[in-house]
Structure 1
Amino acid sequence: MFWQTSRYLINLRQPRVMGIVNATPDSFFDGGRHADADAAKAHCDQLLREGADLLDIGGESTRPGARPPSLDEELARVLPVLRHAVTLGVPVSVDTSRPEVMAAALDAGVDIVNDVRSFTRPGALAVVSAHANCGLCLMHLQGEPGTMQQAPHYAGDVVCEVIDWLAQRLQAVQSAGIARHRVALDPGIGFGKTREHNWALLQRQAELLALGQPLLLGWSRKSTLGALTDRPVVDRLVPSVVAALACVQRGGHVVRVHDVAATVDALKVWRAAGLLAS
């Protein structure tokens, strides 16, 4: 399987590690360590040294209760970092829901738009359809980030509902003239879901793969892992790496992580042990 992006055709025969760069003052894990543009640029460089295959750069924290930045704030946070990242020789993703940020990022040479709201905001689909070959990631989200974890509820089976919703969004982007080979899917772990919902999505990940698209998964440092292990966010390295391995073992294509070096090392061990294809 391949994922077409602006500058790269990403071979997904092997699992890929996407390193997270939060150019925000209020992210749930790194808490502003990379809010300064120079610090975020240096973090991009560090993640590549650790073995990241892709970089995902965002300027809006989507943790529960986060305050959305203004458009000018988001642009000021991400554009200097994106302009640096696109010179580093790997696919670069911008994590945004704003069409204006998408357009500016794509004009700067970004390869992928990763939208937690799946291009549902007015004008978003028009932006990505106008940029030939840019990659997209459609993520399932119930509600809005600020309130999504206030008693999330699904009338039926959560896995079936997520699959149906992603299938509808996939059809919507195709109707906008965007080819399937440009699109990855993300079930949105922790985005409007209880712990039980999240575990069901991992346990039944094969059903998501039946949609026939690359699957991008983000479990890194999330509260479901903390609830299981009784660990604060700063102590969730081991459960985060194990969750990434579980996603890959169940057929996931891209894991989005904070801890690139540990994840890359773990994948090397699994491959040497014959647990991953060589």
Structure 2
Amino acid sequence: MTAAASTVLPHRPADRPLVMGVVNVTPDSFSDGGLFFDASAAVAHGHELLAQGADIIDIGGESTRPGAQRPSVEEELRRVIPVVEGLAGTGAWISIDTMRSEVAREAVAAGARIINDVSGGLADPRMADTAAQTGAGFVVMHWRGHSHDMQTRAVYDDVTAEVCRELADQVGAAMDAGVLREQIVIDPGLGFAKTAEQNWVLLRHLSALQDMQLPVLVGASRKSFLSRVGSREGQAVAAEQRDFATAAVSVVLAQAQVWAIRVHEVRSTFAACDVVKHLRGDS
């Protein structure tokens, strides 16, 4: 499929954001590492998320939690391609979560329709060319470095302005490589080279991202900045118990009318979106 021939992004419903369900095919992701490492388990989980209403399934074979080490290209391909193939036949929108152009290209050939690159094209100089040549949707996330040291880069004078400016540079580089504007989605990269407070600041200023006139994807699901939300004893809330806080953030995102919300737990996200819909009187 060529970029010129493609209509590459799913349409956002009028009454809610799209819901992107996460399938991590990894042994070490921060909240569900190892649960879906087997391809058959990952495919089954993808079917479960689709049955719950997910609009997009995001399949990833590399953990990007702080401190994570990278798998080889061969290992990443071994993890994700059977899962993409196993879910592509459903007709659902499949997204490949990868920073590697080789993985992106093979995943698109296997049926993925969106490349979700958390580095926004910075980790692999061939990624933008791949997005341009395949015509796949291209999620450009704000990024300052790999997981092993990204939190040392969380230094900003004005986090909102700098994230928007750096994202604009990444989008410009992608378009210079031939990616069409209608292929591009932007993501502020919550948790990536951001402190907890910087994540909250970005959520308070989503309008600045939307002023860039591109679809906005936000992934807050179970991230560490939510670890104190709901705690009454000063103890950090475990990642797998942060779905209540995630749903609350999803209310904010639905109110802001972002393009899509990336989550591990789909049902509570739809409930959050329904609350906003009822408040608006759209029911």
Pairwise TM-score range, normalised by the shorter structure = over 0.9
Is 1:122 matched up with 2:122?
Answer: no
Distance in 1, matches of 2:102 and 2:5, equals 19
Deviation (angstroms), 1:53:
0.6
- Give, in angstroms, the shift of residue 8 of structure 1: 5.3
What amino acid maps onto 1:11 in structure 2? Answer: H
Residue 79 of structure 1 is aligned with which of 55, 78, 81?
81
Matched, 1:25 2:27: yes
Is residue 257 of structure 1 aligned with residue 258 of structure 2? no
**Separation in 2, partners of 1:253, 1:21:** 20
In the TM superposition, what is the alpha-carbon distance from 1:232 to its structure 2 partner? 1.6
Residues 101-159 of structure 1: CA deviation (Å, up to 9, x unaligned) = 01101111210000011112121112111113x100000112211221246212x2010
Aligned partner letter, 1:128: A
Counterparts of 2:159 and 2:73 in 1: how far apart (Å)? 33
Query: How many angstroms apart in 2 are the aligned matches of 1:137 and 1:234?
Result: 25
On the 8 A contact 1:96/1:116 being kept in 2, the answer is: yes
Give distance in 2, aligned partners of 1:179 and 1:152.
30
User: What are the ranges of 5 or more consecutive residues in structure 2 without an aligned counterpart?
Assistant: 232-236
TM-score, structure 2 normalization: 0.91
Which ranges of 4 or more aligned residues in structure 1 deviate by more than 3 Å?
A: 4-9
Residue type of the alignment partner of 2:265: D
Q: TM-score, normalised by structure 1?
A: 0.93
Q: In structure 1, the residue corresponding to 2:138 is in which secondary structure?
A: strand
- What is the identity, as a one-letter code, of the residue corresponding to 2:166? W
Contact 1:97–1:119 (8 Å) recurs in 2: yes
Pick one of 34, 37, 50 that aligns with 1:35: 37
**Separation in 1 of the partners of 2:7 and 2:43?**
20
Q: 1:183 to 1:19 in 2, by over 3 A?
A: same
Q: Matched residue pairs, number?
A: 272
* Structure 1 unaligned spans of 5+: none
AA of the residue aligned to 1:199? W
Cα distance in 2 for partners of 1:97, 1:34 equals 20
| Segment of structure 1 superposing worse, 123-132 or 203-212 | 123-132
Q: Residues 7 and 91 of structure 1 are in contact (CA less than 8 Å); yes or no, is this contact kept in structure 2?
A: no
Query: Percent same amino acid at aligned positions?
Result: 40
Aligned-residue RMSD, C-alpha:
1.8
Q: 1:69 to 1:6 in 2, by over 3 A?
A: farther
CA distance in 1, matches of 2:271, 2:228: 25
